[in-house]
């Protein structure tokens, strides 16, 4: 998979996308992440990428021209499966969306700033709009980093133990069951006996029951989906 990220703040991604699992996925050649600084596509000497909103009101709007220039250049080089805009009024990200996107070959991720982008960008370029939750971030970059991390770890070969993503919370609309490791007894706080029993069938049953119980308690809505 190739991800092209269009942003005014590429440095924000240094931490989240250049560590552990995501870095290893890049080193292994399983994914390529390319950053495009929107200011490099600005026309004027001030490298401006935003302007006052028509009709007035507070807040700047990202202009269409630099975005169009950048997206057109990328689209001339290869076909894109999706051109995704990160915005708080987008579709709410969930594991179903990350599963869908993780099988794509080429995607563009556009990070919004200020009061957002000129609506014509959304009308004529964007194919999907994604939000990571009902709260507002200062920009789309942190949301894009979250989104990229969530899709990259689902690409085959990225996780060491390929099956482990299958047992993540949400993968089957259930939260994950509790986990334990050594010691089996810490200050009298004991690990459930069944997990030490070696009885695989009983352990599987216990894990499923705990997953359902935890989901009922914490996220009952997941069980209706
Ligand atoms: Cl994608 N962008 C911003 N700015 N805030 C958000 C978001 C995105 N998702 C949740 N909050």
152, 185, 213 - which closes a domain: 152
Say if 141 falls within a structural domain.
yes
Domain count, the chain: 2
User: For residue 90, which atom of ligand 1 is closest to its CA?
Assistant: 1
Instruction: Return the pLDDT at 162.
Output: 62
Q: Residue 141 belongs to a domain with what CATH number?
A: 3.40.1280.10
Say if 162 falls within a structural domain.
no
* Three-state SS at 89: strand
Enter the pTM of the model.
0.94
pLDDT in tens, 42-71: 999 999 999 999 999 999 999 999 999 999
Domain that holds residue 188: 169-224
Instruction: Return the pLDDT at 210.
Output: 98
Q: Residue 194 belongs to a domain with what CATH number?
A: 1.10.1270.20
> Is there a cis peptide before residue 34, judged by omega within 30 degrees of 0?
no
SS3 of 159-172: CCCHHHHHHCCCCC
95, 125, 152 - which closes a domain: 152
pLDDT in tens, 195-210: 999 999 999 999 999 9
Do residues 48 and 84 both lie within one domain? yes
Question: Which residues sit with their C-beta closer than 6 Å to ligand 1?
Answer: 86-88, 112, 131-133, 135-137, 139-140, 143
Q: What integer is the mean pLDDT of 120-147?
A: 97
């Amino acid at each position: 998979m190739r991800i092209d990220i269009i942003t005014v703040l590429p440095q924000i991604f240094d931490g989240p996308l250049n560590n552990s699992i995501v870095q290893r996925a890049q080193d292994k050649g399983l994914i390529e992440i390319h950053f495009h600084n929107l200011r490099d596509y600005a026309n004027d000497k001030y490298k401006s990428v935003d302007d006052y909103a028509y009709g007035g009101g507070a807040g700047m709007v990202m202009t269409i021209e630099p975005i169009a220039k950048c997206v057109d250049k990328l689209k001339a080089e290869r076909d894109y499966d999706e051109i995704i805009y990160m915005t708080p009024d987008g579709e709410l990200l969930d594991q179903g969306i990350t599963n869908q996107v993780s099988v794509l070959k080429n995607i563009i991720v556009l990070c919004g700033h200020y009061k957002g982008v000129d609506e014509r960008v959304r009308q004529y370029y964007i194919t999907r709009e994604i939000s990571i939750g009902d709260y507002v971030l200062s920009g789309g970059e942190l949301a894009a980093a979250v989104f990229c991390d969530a899709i990259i770890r689902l690409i085959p070969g990225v996780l060491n133990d390929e099956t482990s993503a299958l047992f993540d919370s949400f993968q089957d609309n259930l939260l994950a069951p509790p986990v334990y490791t050594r010691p089996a007894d810490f200050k009298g706080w004991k690990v459930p006996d069944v997990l030490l029993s070696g009885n695989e069938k009983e352990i599987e049953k216990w894990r499923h029951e705990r997953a359902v119980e935890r989901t009922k308690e914490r996220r009952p809505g997941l069980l209706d989906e």
